[in-house]
Amino acid sequence: MITQWKIDLFAGLSERFGVRSLIIETAEQNMTVAELKKHLIASYPEQVDILSISFLACNHAYAQADSIVNATDELALLPPVSGGQAEHSNEDEQKSPLEQLYMLTNEKITTEEVLAKVIVPGHGASIAFVGTTREWTQGQRTIRLEYEAYEPMAVKMMKQIGDELEQQWPGTLCAITHRLGIVDIAETSVVIAISSPHRASCYDASRYAIERLKQIVPIWKKEIWEDGSEWKGHQLGPWNPDTPLANSPDEA
């Protein structure tokens, strides 16, 4: 019996393959992630370079090489990470405060709005990290950025970051809002708001959150220049979202 597998693609992967999903057929209905990637490479040998370094997500969670996946699972192949619900709507106003802490939006982000989510009477310190689109990088002029996300998984990973902050700095609150779509020069692409009883925890947790976001949240950015464009992956070295965050060098 032949089993059909559907694997969704995002960002640079979708552009390289020219489709939003790959469909392959195998004799197996269950296999490990490593075995599935071997089938993909056999079907698309010319794409072995990108397939070998991409991660498989199964039901909105990163899957290890030895994890068993099923053809009926929701599967997605994720290129290296650049780096709620979707964009803001009236439904957002009906969500609980917890549900509004981690969001993706196609609308402009207001820093004060995100920061207000974490300011509570018991906390004496709060801080907002604001990421914006810069015009020049290593002598190359950027016209704009374009962001894409695997949305349900991105929100799940944002919440994981908040949980990790709570474990390392008990009592710390976190809210993250990230833009999708086109983000022009000097516009805000992400706001990470942190609050805690004391300022030292705020500083440490804020740095941890932005580095962790770049490491595990499936959001990709496309840099669009005057003479071309390129999807950008993780900027801190070899990408492995299963590896705990280590101390990372400063980024400009």
CB atoms within 10 A of CB 42: 11
Q: What mean pLDDT comes out for the span 176-204? A: 96
70 and 95 together in one domain: no
At residue 11, the pLDDT reads 86
In this predicted structure, the answer to whether residue 178 has a pLDDT above a threshold of 70 is: yes
57 and 181 together in one domain: no
Question: Mean pLDDT of all residues in the chain?
Answer: 86
Q: Determine the straight-line distance between the first and last CA of the chain, rounded to whole angstroms.
A: 54
143 and 193 together in one domain: yes
CATH number at residue 200: 3.90.1170.40
Number of structural domains found in the chain: 2
Instruction: Please report whether residue 168 resides in a domain.
Output: yes
**Residues spanned by the domain of 23:** 3-78
- Cα-Cα-Cα-Cα torsion 53, 57, 61, 63, nearest 10 degrees, comes to -60
In this predicted structure, the answer to whether residue 172 has a pLDDT above a threshold of 50 is: yes
122 and 37 together in one domain: no
Give 83's pLDDT tier (boundaries 50, 70, 90): very low
At residue 242, the pLDDT reads 64
CB atoms within 10 A of CB 49: 10
213 and 133 together in one domain: yes
Signed CA dihedral, 51, 23, 56, 35: sign only: negative
62 and 127 together in one domain: no
Instruction: Please report whether residue 243 resides in a domain.
Output: no
Instruction: Please report whether residue 250 resides in a domain.
Output: no
pLDDT tens digits, one per residue of 41-70 = 999 999 998 898 889 999 999 999 999 999
138 and 167 together in one domain: yes
Instruction: Please report whether residue 133 resides in a domain.
Output: yes
